[in-house]
């Protein structure tokens, strides 16, 4: 129920979707000559667009990414957990090559860490985040990429049931059964790390953050009239809403 509600809610709450709906509603009101309502909706759309084109989305994203800087590499690692990022393994099956996805850097950074720590287990967690499910899990893409880069299949554990970040952590812990004192790296996007770490704390699984695919620089403040502002606004708001929802439902600490 939580998974379905979160997916449906985001279809409306995403700033880019909300902007489109406001523009559509404004045009509808103008066509029906509802001038006052149309004016209010048009002003709201303009305000949202102004925010998206301002430096605010960059500043918001930088604030999220700065929460968990990458620590020095530990001398010993027992395991590396790599979180999925919406890979479409159906395309892999159809095309014979993996989907282009910024989350691929999670796999790359996880693999690099695995090369430096040959003693570590490597766990990839990802089923399908599609509302109706998918024929093939994200784990199929992870298997293809990681083994193609040379990772020993004997070191790789695939978790293929999870649909969201909470299930990533929950199901992975159930599979690997980490013991007290073990050192685990959590490899996921820097913007996704605060939510993932909060869920790991709630699951009582101590982990070292290993952030990947940064979007902002530490000294960047963004630019006015940036074409990427609306996408960054979507990403930042998605993480804020996700964190609030998980904490309200007891899924994050």
Q: Give the pLDDT confidence of 19-65 residue by residue, as tens digits.
A: 999 999 999 999 998 989 999 999 999 999 998 888 889 899 999 99
Determine the pLDDT at residue 217: 86
Task: Kindly state the percentage of the chain with pLDDT values over 70.
Answer: 94
Domain membership of residue 109 as a residue range: 79-212
Number of domains in the chain: 1
Take residue 92 and report the two structure tokens written for it: 């892999």
Task: State the CATH number of the domain containing residue 198.
Answer: 3.40.50.620
196 domain residue, yes or no: yes
Closest of 80, 107, 246 to residue 178, by C-alpha: 80
115 domain residue, yes or no: yes
Take residue 49 and report the two structure tokens written for it: 């667009």
CA 207 to chain centre: 17
Take residue 101 and report the two structure tokens written for it: 């996805």
142 domain residue, yes or no: yes
Q: Is the pLDDT of residue 98 over 90?
A: no
> How far is Cα 25 from Cα 38, in angstroms, rounded to an integer?
7
Determine the pLDDT at residue 44: 94
CB 23 within 8 A of CB 31: no
The tens digit of pLDDT for each residue in 101-110 reads 878 899 999 9
51 domain residue, yes or no: no
> How far is Cα 175 from Cα 125, in angstroms, rounded to an integer?
10
252 domain residue, yes or no: no
Closest of 87, 81, 103, 77 to residue 144, by C-alpha: 87
Q: How far apart are the first and last CA of the chain?
A: 21
Rg (Cα) of the chain, in Å, rounded? 20
Determine the pLDDT at residue 209: 98
Secondary structure (3-state) at 238: helix
The kind and range of the H/E element at 144 are helix 138-148
192 domain residue, yes or no: yes
Determine the pLDDT at residue 223: 65
The tens digit of pLDDT for each residue in 171-221 reads 999 999 999 999 999 999 999 999 999 999 999 999 999 999 999 888 766
106 domain residue, yes or no: yes
Q: How far are the Cα atoms of 3, 35, 201, 204, 210 from residue 190, in angstroms, in the given order?
A: 23, 45, 17, 21, 8
In terms of DSSP bridges, do strands 156-159 and 184-189 run parallel, antiparallel, or are they unpaired?
A: unpaired
156 domain residue, yes or no: yes
In terms of DSSP bridges, do strands 208-212 and 184-189 run parallel, antiparallel, or are they unpaired?
A: parallel
> How far is Cα 235 from Cα 130, in angstroms, rounded to an integer?
17
Contacts of residue 244, Cβ cutoff 8 Å, sequence gap at least 6? none
Determine the pLDDT at residue 146: 95
């Amino acid at each position: 129920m939580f998974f379905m509600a979160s997916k449906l809610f985001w279809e409306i709450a995403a700033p880019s979707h909300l902007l489109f709906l406001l523009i559509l509603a404004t045009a509808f009101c103008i066509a029906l000559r509802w001038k006052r309502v149309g004016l209010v909706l048009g002003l709201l759309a303009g305000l949202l667009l102004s925010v998206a084109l301002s430096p605010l989305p960059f500043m918001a994203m930088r604030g999220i990414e700065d929460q968990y800087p990458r620590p020095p590499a530990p001398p010993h690692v027992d395991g590396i957990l790599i979180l999925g990022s919406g890979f479409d393994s159906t395309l892999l099956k159809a095309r014979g090559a993996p989907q282009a996805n910024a989350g691929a850097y999670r796999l790359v950074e996880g693999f690099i860490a695995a090369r430096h720590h040959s003693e570590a287990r490597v766990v990839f967690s990802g089923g399908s985040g599609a509302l109706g499910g998918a024929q093939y899990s994200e784990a199929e893409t992870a298997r293809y990429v990681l083994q193609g880069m040379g990772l020993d299949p004997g070191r790789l554990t695939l978790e293929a049931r999870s649909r969201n970040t909470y299930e990533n952590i929950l199901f992975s812990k159930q599979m690997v059964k980490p013991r007290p004192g073990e050192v685990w790296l959590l490899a996921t996007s820097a913007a996704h790390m605060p939510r993932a770490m909060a869920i790991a704390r709630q699951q009582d699984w101590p982990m070292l953050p290993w952030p990947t695919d940064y979007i902002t620089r530490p000294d960047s403040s963004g630019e006015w009239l940036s074409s990427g502002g609306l996408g960054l606004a979507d990403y930042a708001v998605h993480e804020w809403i996700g964190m609030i929802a998980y904490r309200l439902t007891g899924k994050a600490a």
